[in-house]
């Protein structure tokens, strides 16, 4: 079904107009992008939208209607800057204000796209005409006529893919692909999904704040808020799968750290439901112990069991998913526009035009991904019997984290180690207990050795890799990401480090939008920060490789 993309450049989001256009496009796919420089009142919108409505924090916030036909992107922030960060092919645009860069606007317009602009003065109309808009007699409606050839549109791909790896990354990829009607074969070397890094009893989810609101912070915020909305569609935390949106209390480490956090609270002014800074008295009351430097309270944060999130995402695929478990992908060969995935004996496991590598630390064992700079970082989580520590109804973190008890177990962790030891170590357990005891100001204690070790898959900049994989064997000068040679039909969802729960849904949505040629769910700058080719680009720029 073709997608109709509308962009609204309003000074205020017009919910009545949005509702009307949804009705007009009933039964068809609609992608509505609203640029919102000011807080938006969603009070007039139907409940499914209100329930997903984001806090007023900068960035692109993607929401989806229940039937999956309408996507609403709310891009909060400056309108001109926001427009320049869109990656979309616009079929219709409503202009309340004329953006300062009409070149940017023209780049985004599809040939024949329609424009509606009330209150234009003659100068603005002339500028729009110069940019390629041809006005009708009403003088408020125009059609865009492209003069130079626009960027070539990628043809629609054949909707068959193989996903390698059934952890959070792979399960989310399957779910997003199936939501767009793709047939997916999921290859996993274990008998069950979530058997490696995604096999911990609990993972925590929370946002990140920084003084300069840097790219990593913006990405974590986008991923966290997208995950919270996406999880609602899976039934919600604690109902669709195990977990609790119980809030996260993140204590400041020391006086200096607290001072920086106070400055962030004063300048970023995050809405309280997103992040609230607590001074020492309030933080101490919540903790039930002295918290002399204060804390952040993330009311919508919490913990979830990754294996049950994976199960919910795989269940959502229905009959579009084929599982090939207990099979190890050892080689990938491209034959006549299809990838063949083979095991160690050379037997064919699956074949499709598109392959998505979501194999965590296993990815670099495949020849095409061998040069990706990914490191395995050991982590040990300790499982303590309920009652071993003072009980809290929320997640606590500082140098270590502690989850509320679930089925009698409290998870405390996790260590960061450079070695490859898979066994549980007493020293790692003491480290975990020591850190959390220090936070709670109780004496460190011995407990029976219990927990789990896993290996995070970490890129040098600690950001994920989401997109087409580069092919370093093809030489050539590269100045921009789009110049890099890529493997045809081979993509990666890798490097989720310590935040796999929240990276998985957004990175999968980003990749599937790239495959489908749909508007991206994050700003261009953020999508580029996740490009798997960024390391090769840096290397080629540095070495001037030709």
Ligand X SMILES: Cc1cc2nc3c(=O)[nH]c(=O)nc-3n(C[C@H](O)[C@H](O)[C@H](O)COP(=O)(O)OP(=O)(O)OC[C@H]3O[C@@H](n4cnc5c(N)ncnc54)[C@H](O)[C@@H]3O)c2cc1C
> What residues make contact with ligand X under the rule CB under 6 A?
164-170, 187-190, 195-198, 200, 203-205, 306, 328-329, 358-360, 362, 379, 381, 413-414, 454-457, 496-502
> Which residue, 72 or 206, is less far from ligand X as judged by CB?
206
153 Cβ contact partners less than 8 Å away, ≥ 6 residues apart? 89, 517
Query: CA Rg, the chain, in Å?
Result: 24
Q: How far is the CB of 451 from ligand X (least distance, A)?
A: 9
Contact 489/474 with Cβ under 8 angstroms?
A: no
Q: How far is the CB of 105 from ligand X (least distance, A)?
A: 38
Contact 524/87 with Cβ under 8 angstroms?
A: yes
> Which residue, 82 or 404, is less far from ligand X as judged by CB?
404
> Which residue, 430 or 498, is less far from ligand X as judged by CB?
498
Which of 416, 510, 425 lies closest to 458 in space, CA to CA?
416
- Measure the CA–CA gap between 496 and 465, rounded to whole angstroms: 8
> Which residue, 106 or 350, is less far from ligand X as judged by CB?
350
Determine how many CB atoms are found less than 10 A away from the CB of residue 80.
Answer: 17
Ordered alpha helix ranges (H), 234-254: none
- Helix/strand/coil (H/E/C) assignment for every residue in 188-233: ECCCCCCCCHHHCCCEEECCCCCCCCCHHHHHHHHHHHHHHHHHHH
Q: How far is the CB of 206 from ligand X (least distance, A)?
A: 9
Q: How far is the CB of 444 from ligand X (least distance, A)?
A: 20
Contact 496/384 with Cβ under 8 angstroms?
A: no
> Which residue, 192 or 239, is less far from ligand X as judged by CB?
192
Q: How far is the CB of 499 from ligand X (least distance, A)?
A: 4
Q: Where do we find the tokens 């390698």?
A: 164
273 Cβ contact partners less than 8 Å away, ≥ 6 residues apart? 55, 299, 300
> Which residue, 25 or 190, is less far from ligand X as judged by CB?
190
- Measure the CA–CA gap between 457 and 361, rounded to whole angstroms: 5
Q: How far is the CB of 215 from ligand X (least distance, A)?
A: 19
Contact 398/250 with Cβ under 8 angstroms?
A: yes
> Which residue, 191 or 443, is less far from ligand X as judged by CB?
191
Q: How far is the CB of 74 from ligand X (least distance, A)?
A: 25
Q: Where do we find the tokens 């002295």?
A: 290
- Pull the structure tokens for residue 395: 């997640």
């Amino acid at each position: 079904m073709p997608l109709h993309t509308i962009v609204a450049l309003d000074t205020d989001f017009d919910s009545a107009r949005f509702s009307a256009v949804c009705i007009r496009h009933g039964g068809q796919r609609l992608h509505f992008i609203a640029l919102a420089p000011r807080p938006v009142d969603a009070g007039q919108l139907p409940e499914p939208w209100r329930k997903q409505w984001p806090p007023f924090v900068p960035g692109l916030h993607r929401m989806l209607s229940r039937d999956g036909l309408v996507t609403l992107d709310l891009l909060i922030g400056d309108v001109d800057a926001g427009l320049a960060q869109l990656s979309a092919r616009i079929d219709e645009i409503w202009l309340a204000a004329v953006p300062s860069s009409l070149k940017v606007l023209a780049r985004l317009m599809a040939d024949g796209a329609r424009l509606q602009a009330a209150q234009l003065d003659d100068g603005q109309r002339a500028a729009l005409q110069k940019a390629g808009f041809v006005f009708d007699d009403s003088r408020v409606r125009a059609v865009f006529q492209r003069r130079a050839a626009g960027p070539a549109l990628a043809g629609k791909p054949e909707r068959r893919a193989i996903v390698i790896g059934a952890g959070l990354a792979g399960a989310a990829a399957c779910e997003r692909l199936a939501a767009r009607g793709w047939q997916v074969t999921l290859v996993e070397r274990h008998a069950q999904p979530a058997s490696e890094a995604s096999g911990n009893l609990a993972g925590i989810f929370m946002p990140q704040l920084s003084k300069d609101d840097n790219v990593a912070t913006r990405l974590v915020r986008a991923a966290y808020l997208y995950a919270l909305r996406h999880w609602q569609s899976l039934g919600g935390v604690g109902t669709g799968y195990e977990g609790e949106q119980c809030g996260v209390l993140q204590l400041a480490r020391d006086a200096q750290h607290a001072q920086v956090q106070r400055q962030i609270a004063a300048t970023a002014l995050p809405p309280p439901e997103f992040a609230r800074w607590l001074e020492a008295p309030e933080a101490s009351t919540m903790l039930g112990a002295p918290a002399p430097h204060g804390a952040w309270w993330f009311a919508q944060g919490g913990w979830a069991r990754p294996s049950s999130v994976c199960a919910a995402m795989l269940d959502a695929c229905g009959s579009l998913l084929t599982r090939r478990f207990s099979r190890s992908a050892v080689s990938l060969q491209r034959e006549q526009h299809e990838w063949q995935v083979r095991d160690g004996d050379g037997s064919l496991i699956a074949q499709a035009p598109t392959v998505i590598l979501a194999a965590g630390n296993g990815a670099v064992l495949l020849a095409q991904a061998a040069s990706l700079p990914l490191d395995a970082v050991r982590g040990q989580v300790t499982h303590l019997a309920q009652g071993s520590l003072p009980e809290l109804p929320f997640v606590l973190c500082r140098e270590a984290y502690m989850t509320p008890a679930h089925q009698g177990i409290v998870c405390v962790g996790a260590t960061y180690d450079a070695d490859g030891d898979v066994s549980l170590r007493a020293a790692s357990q003491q480290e975990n207990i020591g850190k959390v005891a220090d936070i709670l100001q109780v004496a460190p204690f011995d407990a029976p050795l219990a927990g789990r070790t896993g290996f995070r898959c970490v890129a040098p900049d600690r950001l994920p890799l989401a997109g087409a994989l580069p092919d370093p064997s093809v030489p050539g000068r590269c100045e921009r990401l789009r110049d890099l040679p890529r493997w045809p039909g081979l993509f990666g969802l890798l490097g989720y480090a310590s935040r796999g729960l929240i990276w998985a849904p957004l990175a999968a949505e980003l990749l599937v939008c790239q495959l489908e040629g749909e508007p991206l769910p994050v700003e261009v700058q953020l999508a580029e920060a996740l490009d798997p080719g960024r390391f090769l680009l840096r290397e080629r720029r540095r070495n001037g490789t030709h």
